[in-house]
Amino acid sequence: MTKNATTKKPPTVNKTVAPEPSKIGDYYDHKVFDLMTQLGDGNLHYGYWFDDNDTATFDQAMVQMTDEMIRRLDPRPGDRILDVGCGNGTPAMQLARARDVEVVGISVSARQVERGNRRAQEAGLGDRVRFEQIDAMNLPFDNGSFDHAWALESMLHMPDKQQVLTQVNRVVCSGARMPIADMVYLNPDPGQPRTATVSDTTIYASLTDIGDYPGIFRAAGFTVLELTDITRETAKTYDGYVEWIRAHRDEYVDIIGVEGYDLFLHNQAALGKMPELGYIFATAQRP
């Protein structure tokens, strides 16, 4: 028997950090996200299922999630919308088609911006949907230059949510709505340590407690319209995602190797089982 046999370090989801925006950009520039454009037409967010009888596939449920955000944004034709954390541009294009609006999407990932602009051109939407590499912590837009804004599953990455929302509040008009879909920690009990936290190696997140959102909105100058816990409506997401990761094992292994793949799969499956991890819609309005 070998005395000092080294055991492989088990994959972990126990570390929390507030990563810098440039690191988030590098993360989304990774080749893994080229592969992931094959999932859900480039959508990079949870699925939304209306109830237990909703038989939507994961791809369809991601479209339903964007539809729910569009309903909350409720823009008029011709409005100009800021999409904070645009990903591959799929939600912006769904919005532009559904409501005949103009969308400016921002991302810290250069590859996403390039991909989004190419896809918008190919879809014939290049005249009213465009993407720019901009950090939401420091928006270069004029005061009141957007009718509404949204953030679909991007706030989780923002180290200072109040700073981002203060910036958004400045660049939107009076009356503008700002729906957010975001991962949060649920019902934190102040006396109890969490059983797990989200790892920086898993999704590069700095999550907020669910109860903190209204205060952050108000401190940024917004009136709160809604805080809805949709943990249940989004719960099937990780089943769909893990199934997709398994089905694309060979492509993942080509990019990140067998060990990298095993760790990635483990972390994603673990996220889906974390009792503290929840999901919300939070909608606010600039007075």
Binding site for ligand SAH (CB under 6 A): 21, 24, 28, 43-45, 85-87, 90-91, 106-109, 112, 135-137, 152-154, 157-158
Residue number, 19 or 188, with CB nearest to ligand SAH: 19
Residue number, 188 or 267, with CB nearest to ligand SAH: 267
Task: Please state the closest distance from residue 119 (CB atom) to ligand SAH, in A.
Answer: 12
Residue number, 150 or 217, with CB nearest to ligand SAH: 150
Residue number, 21 or 272, with CB nearest to ligand SAH: 21
Q: Cβ(280)–Cβ(230) under 8 Å?
A: yes
Task: Please state the closest distance from residue 271 (CB atom) to ligand SAH, in A.
Answer: 15
Specify the 3-state DSSP secondary structure of 33: helix
Q: Cβ(102)–Cβ(81) under 8 Å?
A: yes
Residue number, 32 or 137, with CB nearest to ligand SAH: 137
For ligand SAH, the nearest residue by Cβ is 87
In 3D space, the residue among 106, 107, 82, 85 whose CA is nearest the CA of residue 95 turns out to be 82
In 3D space, the residue among 133, 155, 183, 167 whose CA is nearest the CA of residue 26 turns out to be 133
Residue number, 20 or 262, with CB nearest to ligand SAH: 20
Tokens of 76: 């008029």
Task: Please state the closest distance from residue 190 (CB atom) to ligand SAH, in A.
Answer: 28
Dmax (CA) of the chain: 73
**Three-state SS string across 143-191, please?**
CCCECEEEEECCHHHCCCHHHHHHHHHHHECCCCEEEEEEEEECCCCCC
* CA-based torsion, 210, 201, 160, 148: positive or negative: negative
Task: Please state the closest distance from residue 48 (CB atom) to ligand SAH, in A.
Answer: 11
Residue number, 117 or 262, with CB nearest to ligand SAH: 117
Task: Please state the closest distance from residue 30 (CB atom) to ligand SAH, in A.
Answer: 12
Residue written as token pair 């596939």: 57
Give the pairing type, strands 223-229 and 277-285: antiparallel
